[in-house]
Structure 1
Amino acid sequence: MKKRYLTLVMALGLLATSCDKQYLELSPTGSIDAGAAYSTTKNAAAAINGIYRAMVVRYLSSQGHFGHPAMMIIIDVLGEDVVISNTSNTWHLAETRWQAHRSETSVGDELPYQLYYRLIGNANLAITNIDNAAGTQTERNQVKGEALGIRAFSYFNLVQLFGKRYDAATKPNAQLGVPLVLTPTTEGLPRATVEEVYAQINKDLAEAATLLTASRSYKSHINLDVIKGLQARVALVQQNWADAAKFAAEARKSYSPMSVAQYQDGFSDIGNPEWMWGFDHVEDQSETFGAFHSYISSNYNSTNIRVSPKTINSALYDQIPATDVRSKMWVKTPTAANSIVPTGGVRVPYITQKFRLPGAAPSTSTMGDIPYMRAAEMYLIEAEAQARLGNAADAATVLFDLVSKRDPSYVKSTKTGTQLIDEILFNRRVELWGEGFRFTDLKRMNLPLNRNGATNIQSAVVVLFDVKPGDNQWEFLIPRREINANKAIVQNPL
């Protein structure tokens, strides 16, 4: 039995500080004071555990908005590849229709703002107080490095959602990003520029890299490999192709692609050799109907899974070779013999089988781990970056090293230029389906939303099929409660 994190009360509150209740609960609140939490490195490590736990609890009293894993689903349903099969269950419909993030009072718009600033607020307390904690320097470095990583991760998510895309051709990116809160405070701050936010993200990650090592007790915690993986993600978004390739290669070097058999295990076990970072679901902390697998898995016994299972865009799926194990992650024509669903669950074309909880269907436990970062992503970042640098041979080799593990019949690509990049991006879409990348991928590449051409995308479900790149709708609105409470902030264009 795995028992590792602090109590839910500690995770939601963590540390005491004054908080204006008009704000969107962005500051750490609640149960113990910062002095006690960071008086020793042992206490500080427990507080950091609580921050990790705060990534996966329900926010805004909403069952469907369970922290960062909910954002993974939302980021993908905002795109065209993760498809809600019908309107029988309404969870995340407003998000897939591009309504939630364009309503300043919706839960879907408030979630990322509250979630990531809550993590930032608690990380700031760690960063500010840990240097005076009793313990060894190695222990202080560990806590500070993880806190810096959490803060950088949170700002990276925020600026991609609430700011305009980063454009390397127009440095400095003077468009508005998000407020940079770097010390424990409840004072309302103005929005920093996108350039300033990315500079702080890179500064935090660079400092964390000097403090952390690859050593760690649990994959639920950030180590040096994860920091390098985050550096690779950030460099990719900033179109810094050389750094993206370098950091991705360094990040994945201690991890091996999973076998064909492992690929079919259900994506719910953090012990998988390819997983670099994830949520390690402990036995006494099930969120039941407010959990990732209640919405994305094939076999959990929830209403959402039974009546409105997730599917893959048919046009994307139909391009996957039958010899590729990833083709088995969805079923084009499902029957009782070839697809797993909970008792009474509907079977719809292109139904997902990728995420599956252990045991037979229906599963009554949401005890599934959640992948935040896998080595496969690093292969794909490295391949894309090398291709964009014009290094076609290097890009094709890295792509082959990954895809040949998925498809024994795969032949190393001889494509170059745009055709090679398209092949890499196709594999990225298939490989990372449901793991929270598609909306931000479209935005970083300045591509349109295009849901046309699929046989299983219904207008009644998605409503919206096309959004041009650069449209105001690519930006989440600053939540109204923050606008009302913070006189220094301004709204995104409506």
Structure 2
Amino acid sequence: MKILNKKIGILSLAMTISLSSCNEDFLTAVPELSLSDATVFSTPARVESQVIGLYGSAKNGALFGGRYLIYNDIRAEEFVNRTTNSVTGYSTYQGNQDPSDTYIANFWTQGYLTINRANLFLEGLAANPNSVSAALAANYAGEAKFLRALTYFSLVQFFAKPYALDNGASPGLPLRLKGETSSANNNLARSTVAQIYDQVLKDLNEAESQLPDNYSTPLLRTTRAHKNTAIALKTRVLLAKKDYAGVITEANKIVSAAAPFKSPNRVAHELQADVVSVFRTPYTSVESILSFPMAETNAPGTQNQLGYYFNAGNVEYFINTGPTGIYSNPQFRASDDRKAKLTVPTTSVAAFPSSTKFSGVSPYIDFVPNIRYAEVLLNLAEAEAEAGNQTRALALLQAVHNRSDAGYDFGTLDKAGLITAILTERRIELFAEGFRTNDILRRGEPINSFGAGAMIQPSEARYIFGIPLAETQTNPGIGN
């Protein structure tokens, strides 16, 4: 859906250079984008349409609707490329990504476009206090801050060194918190990684206080942020900081003390009995904390769709069955529903399986998961194993694993073995959902790149994505 913002200029000239025909929907909506503040905030319906537009910007196929997740998965060891197609991430798969790469630049472009829209909306909402009720204004402001936080956090994972390497002292991103309608403020240096994290957590804390407890329907509860959504994302952010005590504090707001684990507050999030149901219509179980909805009228777009890359309908990337891939790990047994029901042999490439989490049939309109309760349980399990109660950590691990493989027994594990089992479980449970490389980076470990045939070390430039060339050419303050 198109956002009804005041005319949005380019916050960086890189946007003008990088926006391609895939993003024409944002460029052709001139009448709506030219509306004045007084007009776009003149009715409650128009205000809400702007909020829906923020989600539409975030779920673009160049960002959370597809490619951001895909590139996180293909950089490491879980998938093998089939097509050598430069359009579908082959250079990234090989570890040869370049700052001039249009598709990588689109992460930056679409991310900052979403951030700018959130900034403009927050400013307009504050300038028009009578446009909606105080309760709705708080709700909408919380959603905008949540989406800004999600976008900044995701971008800093791609374009800056991990927090864990130097406690966030490295250069991060330009921190833009004011709406830009021209290129006048284009000259902006990078804030540190720590400063970006601080802003992300500030936004999430404020969002938690402003967002509603729940929504009136399962669809709204799954596709729009509420208090538990902000809390869940905080567990992800704090885990990336290695703030394990913080993860435990936040997760305890939405995870019961003991099994069966379920949220005791607001939305009663819990694991579904059948993991397959989470990825099938209507996509709105209480395990799905945030998903981006898709429809034929606003599909992710050509060659952006998860199913297009990973399912047997096309198979740009099939599953690595070799010793480095999770598929052959003994913790991922043939009896596990995640293998038995969510992978299939690939007919076009004999002997290699593909993932069926997402439909392989055009127009590929599965909802795209962003936060699931299973992730929150594993975030908490890792934090407990690292710095808390290891008995509870094991119970959380067992809850996630035994949901899909009831007969599996972890036995007795020491601390190191428990952490390894939890990290392995993340590879199994969150497979093809865009977590793998970020899970490696946040722990400061080398990327075991199947495509590059090498371990990419944290000291190498290609360990992270370079700032897009268009940005470095047009923002003199960005530095290197």
User: TM-score, normalising length from structure 1?
Assistant: 0.82
Q: How does 1:172-251 map to 2 (within 5 A)?
A: 173-185=168-180, 186=183, 187-188=185-186, 189-216=188-215, 217=217, 218=220, 219-251=222-254
Tell me which of 352, 355, 365 is aligned to 2:354.
352
Structure 2: unaligned runs, 5 residues or longer: 20-25, 256-262
Native 8 Å contact 2:294 2:300 kept in 1 = no
Q: How does 1:2-151 map to 2 (within 5 A)?
A: 6=1, 10-11=2-3, 14-19=5-10, 22-25=13-16, 30=30, 31-33=33-35, 35=37, 36-58=39-61, 65=62, 68-87=65-84, 91-100=88-97, 103-131=98-126, 132-133=128-129, 134-151=131-148
Indicate whether 1:311 and 2:319 are aligned. yes
Indicate whether 1:326 and 2:338 are aligned. yes
Native 8 Å contact 1:41 1:139 kept in 2 = no
Report the AA paired with residue 143 of structure 1: Y
Q: 1: CA distance between counterparts of 2:195 and 2:93?
A: 30
Q: How does 1:256-275 map to 2 (within 5 A)?
A: 256-260=270-274, 262-263=275-276, 266-267=279-280, 269-275=282-288
Indicate whether 1:393 and 2:391 are aligned. yes
Query: Over residues 221-252 of structure 1, what are the superposed CA-to-partner deviations in whole Å (9 max), with x where a residue is unaligned?
Result: 11111101110011000011012123234345
Native 8 Å contact 2:11 2:116 kept in 1 = no
Q: 2: CA distance between counterparts of 1:46 and 1:222?
A: 15
Q: 2: CA distance between counterparts of 1:224 and 1:81?
A: 33
1:486 equivalent in structure 2 = 475
1:255 equivalent in structure 2 = 269
Native 8 Å contact 2:457 2:463 kept in 1 = no
Distance change in 2, residues 1:193/1:407 (3 Å): same
Indicate whether 1:298 and 2:311 are aligned. yes
Q: 2: CA distance between counterparts of 1:24 and 1:385?
A: 39
Report the AA paired with residue 295 of structure 1: Y
Distance change in 2, residues 1:367/1:68 (3 Å): closer
Native 8 Å contact 2:174 2:191 kept in 1 = yes
Deviates more, 1:235-244 or 1:272-281: 272-281
SS at match of 2:431: coil
Native 8 Å contact 1:56 1:67 kept in 2 = yes
SS at match of 1:71: helix
Native 8 Å contact 2:446 2:455 kept in 1 = yes
Q: 2: CA distance between counterparts of 1:234 and 1:310?
A: 30
Native 8 Å contact 2:63 2:111 kept in 1 = no
Native 8 Å contact 2:307 2:358 kept in 1 = no
Deviation at 1:190, TM superposition (A): 0.9
2:438 equivalent in structure 1 = 440
Native 8 Å contact 2:427 2:436 kept in 1 = yes
Native 8 Å contact 1:145 1:211 kept in 2 = yes
SS at match of 1:284: helix
SS at match of 2:335: coil
Q: 2: CA distance between counterparts of 1:174 and 1:353?
A: 38
Q: 2: CA distance between counterparts of 1:45 and 1:378?
A: 29
Structure 1: unaligned runs, 5 residues or longer: 1-5, 59-64, 332-337, 452-456
Native 8 Å contact 2:79 2:317 kept in 1 = no
Percent identity over paired residues: 22
Deviation at 1:164, TM superposition (A): 1.1
Indicate whether 1:419 and 2:417 are aligned. yes
Report the AA paired with residue 326 of structure 1: R
1:276 equivalent in structure 2 = 289
Q: 2: CA distance between counterparts of 1:21 and 1:236?
A: 31
Deviation at 1:295, TM superposition (A): 2.2
Tell me which of 431, 448, 459 is aligned to 1:470.
459
Total equivalences in the alignment: 443
Deviation at 1:264, TM superposition (A): 6.3
Q: 1: CA distance between counterparts of 2:361 and 2:426?
A: 29
Native 8 Å contact 2:319 2:327 kept in 1 = no
Native 8 Å contact 1:41 1:130 kept in 2 = no
SS at match of 1:141: helix
Report the AA paired with residue 140 of structure 2: V
Distance change in 2, residues 1:478/1:370 (3 Å): same
SS at match of 1:371: strand
Deviation at 1:441, TM superposition (A): 1.0
Q: 2: CA distance between counterparts of 1:296 and 1:147?
A: 30
Deviation at 1:112, TM superposition (A): 1.4
1:335 equivalent in structure 2 = none
SS at match of 2:15: coil
Query: Over residues 147-183 of structure 1, what are the superposed CA-to-partner deviations in whole Å (9 max), with x where a residue is unaligned?
Result: 0001111110111111111038x55x32110010001
Q: 1: CA distance between counterparts of 2:11 and 2:177?
A: 18
Deviation at 1:416, TM superposition (A): 2.2
